[in-house]
Amino acid sequence: MQTLQAIIFDVDGTIADTEELHRQAFNRTFVDYGLDWDWTRARYAELLCISGGRERMYAYARALGAEFTPPTELERFSIELHRHKTALYRELLATGRLGLRPGVRRLIDEARAAGVRLALATSTARGNVTQLLNPLWPADWQNWFDAIVTADEVAEKKPSNAVYREALRLLDLPADRCVAIEDTVNGLRAARAAGLKTIVTTHYFTELHAFPGASLVVDHLGEPNLPCRVTTSRVGPVSCVDLGVLRRALNAPEVTRFRFHSSAAYATAL
């Protein structure tokens, strides 16, 4: 029996339901730059097959082919768009009061009380993480995490396992003592590629996606008075994801045979 020693949380879509705000920031950027791009919710659900907002816009522009001629070299233009989008996203975070997803704080408190260590591993910028979490948690919240790995520390985006490998390095733990919690196929792929058992909490943009290789797929982590809805489980019945469920996931037989289906055309435009 392996002992659960750490939980590694993804951020966007997992800690908080941020992707709708990201989507709004992208669309406001397109208006500000006079682009007739409109990332509807359906299109954004497809585009989430690409981690990294800059990479997502780059791939979208490339997929437009001759329909779109960037004002400058596309790489440079996508960087400029992304800077603008990030500023708008942080304004949206500052004006709204985006809460944590169900069960996140409960599980973090349970882990801290039990001496289970914590880490964050995300493809977004560190500034986005602090802007999101500073208003939600006490001033010393970063001390709760023994590793916070963002796009600032590891440029390679999910599904690369780079952020998870860096989190494990900083934790100085092997993958088989930790469980990852994710929200997207790319996040699941990244965590699995780092050898981590992974729990997926879906949301509007990912609820129709398939998550082969996940130990458990639920609509959220659950609260005692708000049971989660299980899509798939390799850990038996679950109504609330607690340390016991994570320990079952850690010690369940390894998932070896699974295949990720190639996602939307955008992924090939990178």
Q: Please choose, out of 5-13, 90-98, 226-234, 242-250, the segment that lies near ligand XBP by the rule CB under 6 A.
A: 5-13
Based on the residue annotation, tell me whether 10 is a catalytic residue of this protein.
yes
- Residue numbers 173-202 binding ligand XBP by CB under 6 A: 184, 187
Task: Identify the residue among 9, 13, 101, 103 touching ligand XBP (CB under 6 A).
Answer: 13
Helix 74-95 / helix 126-133 crossing angle, nearest 10 deg = 10
Is 36 a catalytic site residue? Answer: no
52 binds ligand XBP (CB under 6 A): yes
**Among the listed residues 29, 78, 124, 233, the single contact to ligand XBP using CB under 6 A:** 124
Q: Is residue 27 a contact residue for ligand XBP (CB under 6 A)?
A: no
Nearer to ligand XBP, 128 or 201 (CB): 128
C-alpha to C-alpha distance for 180 and 199, rounded to whole angstroms:
6
* Cβ-based nearer residue to ligand XBP, 157 or 197: 157
Which CB atom, from 135 or from 236, has the smaller least distance to ligand XBP? 135
Structure tokens at 144: 């709760």
Nearer to ligand XBP, 22 or 192 (CB): 22
- Using the rule CB under 6 A, give the single segment among 60-68, 123-131, 164-172, 256-264 that binds ligand XBP: 123-131
Nearest residue (CB) to ligand XBP, 38 versus 114: 38
166 binds ligand XBP (CB under 6 A): no
Residue 159 is a binding residue for ligand XBP (CB under 6 A): no
* Residue 228 engages ligand XBP in binding (rule: CB under 6 A): no
Binding residues for ligand XBP (CB under 6 A): 10-13, 19, 22, 51-53, 86, 122-125, 128, 158, 184, 187
The set of catalytic residues is: 10, 12
